[in-house]
Amino acid sequence: MKLAPILLRRLIQAVLVALVISTLAFFLMRSLPGDMAFRVAAGRYGPDMVSVAAAEAVRAELGLGRPMLEALGIWLGRLASFDLGVSFVNGGSVAAQLGHELGYTLRLACAAAVAAFIIAVPVGVAAGSRPGGLMDRGSLVVSVILRSVPPFLMGLVLIIVFSLQLQWLPSAGYENRGSDILPALTLGLGLAGPMSRIVREAVFQVRSQPFHLFARTKGLGARAVMLRHTLRNAAVPVVAYSGTQLALLIEGVVVVESLFSWPGIGHALVHAIFARDVPMIQGAILVMSLGYVALNALIDIAVRVIDPRVEEPA
């Protein structure tokens, strides 16, 4: 399969996802009690400045007075022109706010992914190389525990230990030095649990393949076999599985940002749901979902780079 059709599939997926999320957001807005025009006007101009005239202007602009389908068309049309609207709460542009928050979220997500990678790969390779050994059994127990502790609990434990008891690290915010260590570690440990088992399983599978034994009987040493034959083949399923891992990462971001008051998109989303700030809810979920699709497209590409078979079918 060529690369282009795969990317096209991801693109179609992205468009469909955007359509469905935006449609749901439209019905969410319609389901809210009260006059939407006044709500939007209050958001834009401040609660004291709302006049009937301002509300009517908003009503006309957003097509609020029109039949359902027509209004939906207008709503989706604005999305198609990449207009995410303005927040009901502070009247600011949703796109500008999300752009600002995305930077913080990416910083946290990258730190977490790096932490998970540094922990999971060596542990998984060591466990898979000696199945049933001390490392394998030990890391299994730890990974079952890590998998059973949801990110918000992991965060609570880390806050209690490192922030409240030991007072080594700040528990909230982002200004202080070291304030990103706890949130990144919370997310990273949660990811490292399942990831180390995926690496372990991949390494174990490769080591039970006939070609692994043949590489040994050719006379290659254990190190050469590991570097030249095991790792690359084991990387194929690990990279392919990391799509599911990304879902964990994104879900973790929402929870961990709220717990640590980290000023990212997840935090913003939870606040927007409290305030029923529909444009913000729509924007945050769209950015995270489309980001997820885009990262999965990157994974599709990475698999092809690692596994040359895909490019050269028989």
Partner 1 sequence: MITDDDFLPDLAERPWLTRQRQLGIAILVLVLLFAVVPIVTAPDPRVQDLTRVLQSPDALHLLGTDQLGRDVLARVSAGARLTCGLALLCVLTAACIGSAAGLAAAWCGGWVNRTLATVADMILAVPVLLIVLLLVAFAPGHLLPIYLALALSMWVEYFRLVRAHALRVLASPHVESARLLGFSPAYVTRWHLWPELAPYVGSVMVMGTATAVLALAAVGFVGTGLRPPTAELGLMMSESFAYWRDAPWLLLSPVAVLVAGVVGLALTTGLGEDRP
Partner 2 sequence: MNALTVENLSIRHQDQILLEPVSFTVGAGQCIVVLGESGSGKSLLAQAILGLLPHGLAADGSVILKDQRFDAGDTALRRQRWGRELGLLPQEPWRALNPTMRIGDQVAEVHALVRGRPWAEARSTARAALADMGLADEYRSLPHRLSGGMAQRATLAAARAGGASILIADEPTKGLDIALRSRVVDDLKSVMVAGGTLFVITHDVQVARDLGGEVIVMRGGQLMERGPGDTLLTAPASAYTRELLAADPASWPTAAAPPAHGDMILAATDLAKTYDGKQLFAGLDLSLSRGDRVAFVGASGSGKSTLGDILIGVRKPDRGSVRRGGGLSALAFQKLHQDPGAAFAPSLSLARALNDAVRLHGRKWQDVRQWMRRLGLSESLLPRKPAALSSGELQRFALLRILLVRPALIFADEPTSRLDPINQRRALELLAEVAAEENIALLLVTHDPDVARAIAPLRLHLPLTAQ
Interface residues toward partner 2, by CB under 8 A: 209-211, 213-221, 224, 228-229, 232-233, 236, 306-309, 312, 314
Single out the segment in contact with partner 1 by CB under 8 A; choices: 34-42, 80-88, 114-122, 252-260.
252-260
**Is residue 208 within 8 Å of residue 129, measured between CB atoms?**
no
Which neighbouring-strand residues pair with 93? 86
Single out the segment in contact with partner 1 by CB under 8 A; choices: 57-65, 118-126, 141-149, 173-181.
141-149
What are the backbone dihedrals phi and psi of residue 93, each rounded to the nearest 5 degrees, phi first? -65, 130
When the beta carbons of 57 and 76 are compared against partner 1, the nearer one is: 76
Q: Which does 160 bind (CB under 5 to 8 A by kind): partner 2, partner 1, none?
A: partner 1
Told to check if 207 binds partner 1 by CB under 8 A, we report no
Up-side HSE of residue 103: CA atoms within 13 Å toward CB? Answer: 6
| Per-residue interface string for the shown chain with partner 1, residues 5-24, x marking contact by CB under 8 A | ----x---xx-xx--xx--x
In 3-state terms the chain splits into helix, strand, coil percentages (rounded to 5) of 80, 0, 20
Give buried/exposed letters for 105-126 (b at 16+ CB in 10 A, else e): bebbbebbbebbbebbbebbbb
When the beta carbons of 114 and 213 are compared against partner 1, the nearer one is: 213
Q: Which does 309 bind (CB under 5 to 8 A by kind): partner 1, partner 2, none?
A: partner 2
**Is residue 22 within 8 Å of residue 298, measured between CB atoms?**
no
Single out the segment in contact with partner 1 by CB under 8 A; choices: 48-56, 232-240, 284-292, 301-309.
284-292
- Minimum separation from the CB atom of position 53 to partner 1 (A): 30
When the beta carbons of 13 and 205 are compared against partner 2, the nearer one is: 205
Cα–Cα nearest to 143, from 202, 184, 204, 196? 196
When the beta carbons of 34 and 210 are compared against partner 2, the nearer one is: 210
- What Å distances lie between residue 291 and 7, 58, 287, CA to CA? 14, 31, 6
Q: Which does 308 bind (CB under 5 to 8 A by kind): partner 2, partner 1, none?
A: partner 2
What are the backbone dihedrals phi and psi of residue 261, each rounded to the nearest 5 degrees, phi first? 50, 45
Give buried/exposed letters for 218-251 (b at 16+ CB in 10 A, else e): eeeeeeebbeebbbebbbbbbbbbbbebbebbbb
- Minimum separation from the CB atom of position 131 to partner 2 (A): 11
**Is residue 294 within 8 Å of residue 26, measured between CB atoms?**
no
Residues that bind partner 1 (CB under 8 A): 9, 13-14, 16-17, 20-21, 24-25, 27-28, 31, 131-132, 136, 140, 143-145, 147-153, 156, 160, 197, 200-201, 204, 210, 213-214, 247, 250-251, 254-255, 258-259, 269-270, 273-274, 276, 278, 281, 285, 288-289, 292-293, 296
